Every structure is written in structure tokens, then in C-alpha cells.
Amino acid sequence: MRTIAVLNQKGGVGKTTTTVNTAAALAAMGLKVIVIDLDPQAHLTIHLGVEPQTMPAGAYDVMTQSAEFEQSLMLTRPNLWLLGANINLVGAETELVSVVGREIILREAMHRCHEQFDFCLIDCAPSLGLLSLNALAASQEVLIPLQPHFLALQGFGKLLQTIDLVNKRINRDLKVTGVLLCMFDTRASLPNEVRADIDRFLTNARGSNSAWADAQILPTFIRRNIKLAEAPSYGQTIFEYDPTCNGAADYRNVARFFLGIEPRLDGQDETESEVESEPETAAAPDPVVEHEPQEIHHDPEPTGGADPVMENETVSEAPSPDAHHEPELLSNPDPAPQRDTVPAPWDLQHRPESEFGAGSAIERGPVPEQAPSESHHELESADEHNAEARQETPEHPPIQIQEFQLPAPQTYSPRPFQDEPASPASPPEPAPAHHDEAPNEPHQSHDEPEQIGF
Ligand code: ADP
Ligand code: MG
């Protein structure tokens, strides 16, 4: 199983949209996919049509070790399982502060799933806290969605450094796979400037031992597309809501990227303002087989069906785990024209044992048939959870995140948001109601806007 953390400590950059729709595209290609909602706002959960408060078990229960991972998964679509979130998750970081090994709880919880699934995408909260650390510790790859607007690169260095530290201290397998440019407007010059800067930086890192040495800007990008913003309020993926829109085409390309298939870039110079499309009315999606999402609130219209295009894009053979798949597509999948607060609290120092024990597991496991294996701590940090041990092993100092200085600060002009008031140091995540979010607005303002830390 390839586990990919979709991470950017900024909110509103496209993490959730990317997680849902990339996973849905992979699932429609026949791959077995898990999505994990590690954001207490539960946008991913809602986006898949699941009511967060009605879930019997979810990410909170797994993180607090009161439910088994496999038994907390919900099959929400064919091939697409969800470990959902609800607002309880907001308390997890605090509750776990005294838990030994708290940074690898998720990793250990998932370890029995590796043979049974092909992909796991983790939608991270817009922070670099303990939940995101768990995502990084459990993943082999990081995908960084980034909205290439002014200030897009502010904090980018810190994000990369954080990933690098996790790679060096906790998870040797972790690397940054790439940067996905979301809400990209090809007509504007600024996004292209941002792209060129990232490209230059990543190119300079080639051959280094950093976790991003092999990272690239994904060859496909996600155009701004109103359908992508509308789909969540119907609890639908983009392939259910409007399989012919630009957003659907773009996320199919992201899935192809992960499968090692050439993207189809036709039409990426189109803008959604040139071609708008109405969502297609189609049959309701196939009901979930084993575990119905509870009380899915789908508005009556527009209705979406299982994506006929995606259904054709089925991988001919069941993929083998941990492999980079290069499946043959059975038919042309795109016949339709294109329309359209740092530092983190992971000092890894000794804390007293947690009161969390193996609580009552919730009995609704959809998948696993493997016999449970003993929990084990394989990471160096996992078996060195106390300060004494760390003092004895000077090569493992506590993680301390410091501002990472990337070379050559650059000035962008014009300054489109210079009239915005300065915000507190810690940028707020947009309002919880996903349909109220304003995707066009930057989610950070600043005192010295001309300095990009990159
Ligand atoms: P994050 O998870 O990083 O906070 P989201 O994926 O929730 O970001 O996206 C933020 C907002 O932007 C949401 O309302 C989403 O529907 C919208 N959005 C995401 N991608 C696009 C896009 N390509 N075009 C238009 N709107 C988008
Ligand atoms: Mg989100």
C-alpha cells in the first residue's frame, strides 16, 4: 500500500478536494483505496457524504486507541474506504500529549492493512501538529497541494523542513513526491512565477539528501473549477457530480500520475470562465455494499451517478500491493470534451504512560481477514521515548522546528492583497462549513507582504 499524506499547513489550498477526488479516481480505476480524515473539521468526511457525528468510530477513536483501524473503516463507494473524522478529533492532540509513542499511533494502527489495500491518502489538518506528524509517520509520500497565489510560498520552507525532520528522525521511508498546483489560473502571470520558483528550488535540491530531493511539480495541475467547489455540498466526488468538467479531468490526471501513466493535458489552458457546464443528472451512485455511510445527506439535485467514464477506466488486473502500477486502460477514459503553530508539540520527550488502553473495539470491520499481529515499535523514536534515552543517543535530539531559510527571497509584484489587515501569527483555517469557504482568498495575511520566504 502506498500511503500518501496530503499536507500543507495552510488551509484552503485544496488538500481535501485533492484527497477526495484523487482517491475516487484511483478507486474508479479498480484500486483499493483508503482515505483518512485527520482534520477535525471533517471536510473530507462530509465531502464523501458521511455525517461526522453519526459515525460509530473514526480517526479520533483510532488515535485514542479505543477502536481498531480496520474496524473503523467505512466503505463509502466501491473500492473507497473512509476513516472519518468528527469534531472529537480536535481534542486528540491534547489527550495524547502524555501518550508514549503518540507520533506513531496511526502508523501502528494501520500496519495490518498494507497487504489489503493499494493506496491510502491522508487528508491532513492545516497545521503541523501531532495529527499531521502521525500522518507523516504513517506515510511513504507527501503530496503538497499549493494554491499558487501571492504568499503561496510563505511557510513552504518550514513545511519542507518539517517533513525532512520526520524523515530523519521518525520515518526513513518518507519523501516528498510532489507539489500539486491547485486552483491554477493559466491566464495570470503570478501562478506561473510561483511555479517557476518552486521548480527552480526543487531542481536545486536534486541529489541532496533532503526528503524533497526527488520531488517535482506534478505535470498536471488543477484548474480553478466551480464544480469542484460545488461537489462537497452534495456529498459527492467530482466524478459523481460532473464527470465531464475540468476538475474531473484534472484529478484523473493526478491519479494517472500516481499510477505512472502519462497525463492527458489537453485543455489545461482552458479556463472555467470560458466553458461552464451544468452537472449531469444521472442515476444515484451505487449504494455502498458492506458499510453504508450513516445518514448521507445528498440533496436531490444535481444528482450524480457512478462515473461512466471512470468506470471504463478500470485497471485490467488487480494491482499488487506496494507496486507502482502501470495499468492498461480498457478504453479511452476521456472521451468527453473538456468543459469547462509551529513548533509542533512533538518533543518526543518522556511522558508518563497514558491512561488510554485498548478500549472497546467497535465491531464493524469491513475489510480485514488477517489475524491481528502484535503491535510493535519499529521506529527509532518509538523505542526511545524518554529524555534519558535521548541523552544517551545524541544523534536523536528532540525535534525542534525552526524557521527554514531558503535562498534568495523574492519580491512579487503587484501586491494583490496589500490592503488586507494583518492577521495573527497563526493563520486560521477557514470557516468549518465547507460551502462557506472563499477559495479565492488567501488564508494568510501578513505584515511584510513583499518578502516571500523562498
Ligand atoms: P483545504 O483542504 O486545503 O482547506 P479545500 O480542498 O477544502 O482546501 O479547498 C478549499 C475551498 O476551495 C473549498 O471550498 C473547495 O471546494 C474549493 N476548491 C478546491 N479546489 C478548487 C478548484 N480547483 N477550483 C475551485 N474551487 C476549489
Ligand atoms: Mg481540508
pLDDT digits (tens, 9 = 90+) for 282-333: 434 443 334 444 444 444 344 333 343 444 444 433 334 343 443 333 333 3
pLDDT digits (tens, 9 = 90+) for 198-250: 999 999 999 999 999 999 999 999 999 999 999 999 999 999 999 999 999 99
In degrees, rounded to 5, the angle at the alpha carbon of residue 121 between the alpha carbons of residues 299 and 374 is 120
Nearest CA, atom 12, ligand 1: 439
Highest mean pLDDT among 26-30, 54-58, 153-157, 384-388: 26-30
Q: What is the pLDDT of residue 176?
A: 97
Among 81-90, 180-189, 411-420, the minimum mean pLDDT is found in 411-420
CA 14–ligand 1 middle distance (angstroms): 4
pLDDT digits (tens, 9 = 90+) for 341-368: 333 333 333 333 332 223 322 233 444 4
Site to probe by mutation for ligand 1, drawn from 20, 228, 277, 443 as the one with most ligand atoms within 8 Å of Cβ, is 228
Q: What is the pLDDT of residue 186?
A: 79
Site to probe by mutation for ligand 1, drawn from 17, 144, 185 as the one with most ligand atoms within 8 Å of Cβ, is 17
Q: What is the pLDDT of residue 211?
A: 95
Residue 210: C-alpha distances to residues 7, 271, 398, 434 (Å): 17, 36, 19, 35
Highest mean pLDDT among 136-145, 155-164, 284-293, 361-370: 136-145
Q: Which of 125, 34, 41 is nearest to 76 (CA)?
A: 34
Residue 447: C-alpha distances to residues 69, 72, 415 (Å): 43, 44, 12
Backbone angles phi, psi at 123, to 5 degrees: -85, 110
Q: Which of 232, 233, 257 is nearest to 181 (CA)?
A: 257
Query: Residue 60: is its pLDDT beyond 60?
Result: yes
Strand order in the sheet with 216-217: 74-77, 80-83, 33-38, 119-124, 2-6, 141-146, 175-181, 216-217
Whether 230 and 240 have beta carbons less than 8 Å apart is answered as no
Nearest CA, atom 1, ligand 1: 12
Q: What is the pLDDT of residue 270?
A: 57
Q: Please report where in the chains the cell 472497546 appears, as a residue.
A: 360
Query: Residue 104: is its pLDDT beyond 70?
Result: yes
Higher pLDDT, 392 or 249: 249
Query: Using a 6 Å CB cutoff, which residues line ligand 1?
Result: 11-17, 43, 126, 182-183, 222, 224-225, 228-229, 232, 247, 434, 437, 439
The ligand 1 atom nearest the CA atom of 232: 16
Which residues place a Cβ less than 5 A from the ion ligand 2?
Answer: 15-16, 43
Higher pLDDT, 331 or 23: 23
**Structure-block grid coordinates of residue 435:** 460551502
Q: What is the pLDDT of residue 47?
A: 97
Q: Please report where in the chains the cell 507527501 appears, as a residue.
A: 142
